């Protein structure tokens, strides 16, 4: 709802007077605050003017009508405790940035705007966008989101010229090449990481191999993959070469000692099964078939723990240009979806999983076969640089000096909407 400054001032005075009368009649009411940064799905509203958390409600059951209370004019008070964390903290058990459910609160645009999103996937890893659509969080911001069937690679020029506003993808070589060539595109939001990343005893996304490759199949020696054929959906230009190359470096050999085959994610297990490749970096849910046959297949490398390897990318108009307010509205709704519907245990929420099943077209039973993801809108320091070192080594980028975080990332959009 759009409110003029004069009407807003009158409303705030009325609210202050009402609250003063209630306080005089009932005495002080100190509310408890857990302050532990955890989130749960927001409880249904009871229709009261105020539920004790400082969010004004108009009694219609909606989370918020866009008006801020007098202690939270920018709608970010619920992010004050843990809305931002230290981006240099890469520890596996680090605290993930979170606001209270319903935050950051909507600040609807005065005029309806359309955000054009380059994305080819309706899958669980884009759950913040799917749930923001499903639960009307974009409507709360007075924006529409139009999906454009483009990969991140194909979105780079449209992002630069503002014919597309945002795009989804990994921090691939193609993105870094575009930035190095002068395209004004930056990563503005992180996406997710698997909850057990780093623990190869837990089946998950990662590098799976045939056990018969190894001289001792029960105790695979990763160095025996030297010379093997490996499948990847993108090849040496994919960000997944970062965790793979890191593991192989530690074992004393290079990915260049292997032969890479670019095979679509849905066909990798068949290639593995037929020995067309001896290993494959398998994404959700395609590794499930390998995990179901532990006598013949083994997980050797997983995604780096606590570190999103992809996210949301934006062009200049929504970052700093004439569409900045619309861009921030999109980011605000995205982060509100994470805080309200996607705590670490979201797969236990039947309503949320039913919504994801409806939006993805996959049955709930299929979605819960893979572990729920840890959604993280922040971007870690050095993720891009670590990947770039291998892109440069493997000649998948057209430059020789690693680009800095400042050249490829822009944290200002999420910092602004959580009150950083």
353 and 408 part of one domain: yes
Residue 168 inside a domain? The answer is yes
Residue with tokens 């209630």: 22
Residue (of 156, 160, 163) closest to 116 by Cα position: 163
Rounded CA separation 58/198 (Å): 46
Task: From 287, 302, 317, give the residue that closes a domain.
Answer: 302
Distance, in Å, from the CA atom of 91 to the CA atom of 305, rounded to the nearest integer, reads: 8
Beta strands 166-170 and 310-314 are: antiparallel
User: Residue 403 domain-assigned?
Assistant: yes
- Select from 279, 302, 325 the last residue of a domain: 302
The whole-number average pLDDT for the span 359-373 is 96
Long-range pairs for 68-77 at CB < 8 Å and ≥24 separation?
Answer: 68/105, 68/107, 69/12, 69/15, 70/12, 70/15, 70/16, 72/105, 74/104, 74/107, 74/419, 75/103, 75/104, 75/105, 75/106, 75/107, 76/103, 76/104, 76/105, 76/417, 76/418, 76/419, 77/103, 77/419
Query: In the prediction, which pLDDT does 9 show?
Result: 37
Q: Are residues 315 and 412 in the same domain?
A: yes
Q: Are residues 269 and 401 in the same domain?
A: no
Q: How many domains does the chain have?
A: 2
Tell me: do 388 and 326 sit in the same domain: yes
Q: pLDDT above 70 covers what percent of the chain?
A: 83
Same domain, 298 and 324: no
More confident residue, 41 or 357: 357
Q: What is the mean pLDDT of residues 101-120?
A: 98
Q: Where are the alpha helices (DSSP H) in 27-74?
A: none
**Which of these three, 259, 286, 302, is where a domain ends?**
302
Which pLDDT band, with edges at 50, 70 and 90, does 92 fall under? confident
Whether the predicted pLDDT of 268 surpasses 80: yes
311 and 410 housed in the same domain: yes
With respect to residue 139, please indicate whether it lies within any of the assigned structural domains: yes
CA–CA dist 368, 181 (Å, integer): 41
Do 311 and 406 share a domain, yes or no?
yes
Within a domain: 329:
yes
Integer Cα distance of 14 and 354 in angstroms: 41
Residue 30's pLDDT band, with cuts at 50, 70 and 90, is very low
Confidence of residue 290 (pLDDT cuts 50, 70, 90): very high
Q: Are 92 and 304 in contact (CB under 8 A)?
A: no
Q: Do 172 and 214 have their domain in common?
A: no
Do 258 and 397 share a domain, yes or no? Answer: no
Are 191 and 257 contained in the same domain? no
* Average pLDDT of span 39-65: 39
Beta bridge partners of 262: 232
Where in the sequence is the domain holding 119, given as residue range(s)? 113-195+307-417
375 & 253 share domain: no
Residue 87 resides in a domain? no
Same-domain pairing of 311 and 413: yes
CA separation for the pair 179, 297 (Å, rounded): 39
Chain centroid, CA 53 distance in Å: 27
Confidence of residue 72 (pLDDT cuts 50, 70, 90): confident
**Token pair 């004050």 is at which residue?**
80
CATH code at position 258: 3.40.190.10
CA pair distance 215, 203, nearest whole angstrom: 22
């Amino acid at each position: 709802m759009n409110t003029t400054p004069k009407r807003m001032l009158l409303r705030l005075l009325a609210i202050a007077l009402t609250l003063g009368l209630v306080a005089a009649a009932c005495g002080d009411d100190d509310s408890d605050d857990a302050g532990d940064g955890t989130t749960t799905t927001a409880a249904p509203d009871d229709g009261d003017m105020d539920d004790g958390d400082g969010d004004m409600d108009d009694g219609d059951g909606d989370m918020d009508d866009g008006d801020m209370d007098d202690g939270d004019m920018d709608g970010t008070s619920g992010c004050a405790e843990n809305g931002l964390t230290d981006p240099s903290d890469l520890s596996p058990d680090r605290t993930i940035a979170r606001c209270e459910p319903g935050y950051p609160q909507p600040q609807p645009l005065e005029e309806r705007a359309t955000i054009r999103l380059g994305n080819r996937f309706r899958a669980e890893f884009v759950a913040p966008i799917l749930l923001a659509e499903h639960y009307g969080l974009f409507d709360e911001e007075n924006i529409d989101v139009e999906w454009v069937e483009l990969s991140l690679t194909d979105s780079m020029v449209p992002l630069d010229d503002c014919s597309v506003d945002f795009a989804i993808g990994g921090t691939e070589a193609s993105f870094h090449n575009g930035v190095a060539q002068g395209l004004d595109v930056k990563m503005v939001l992180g996406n997710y990481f698997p909850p057990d990343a780093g623990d190869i005893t837990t089946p998950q996304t990662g590098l799976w191999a045939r056990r018969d490759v190894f001289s001792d199949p029960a105790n695979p020696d990763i160095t025996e993959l030297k010379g093997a054929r490996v499948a990847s959906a993108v090849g040496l230009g994919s960000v997944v070469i970062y965790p793979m190359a890191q593991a192989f470096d530690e074992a004393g050999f290079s990915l260049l000692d292997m032969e890479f085959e670019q095979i679509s994610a849905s066909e990798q297990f068949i290639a593995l099964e037929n020995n067309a490749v001896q290993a494959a970096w398998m994404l959700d849910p395609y590794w499930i078939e390998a995990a179901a046959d532990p006598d013949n297949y083994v997980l050797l490398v997983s995604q780096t723990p606590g570190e999103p390897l992809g996210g949301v990318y934006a062009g200049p108009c929504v970052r700093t240009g004439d569409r900045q307010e619309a861009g921030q509205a999109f980011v605000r709704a995205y982060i509100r979806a994470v805080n309200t519907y996607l705590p670490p245990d979201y797969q236990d929420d039947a309503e949320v999983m039913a919504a994801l099943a409806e939006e993805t077209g996959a049955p709930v039973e299929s979605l819960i076969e893979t572990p729920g993801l840890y959604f993280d809108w922040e971007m870690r320091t050095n993720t891009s640089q670590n990947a770039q070192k291998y892109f440069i080594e493997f000649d998948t980028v057209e430059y020789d000096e690693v680009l800095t975080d400042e050249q490829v990332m822009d944290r200002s959009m999420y910092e602004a909407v959580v009150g950083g």
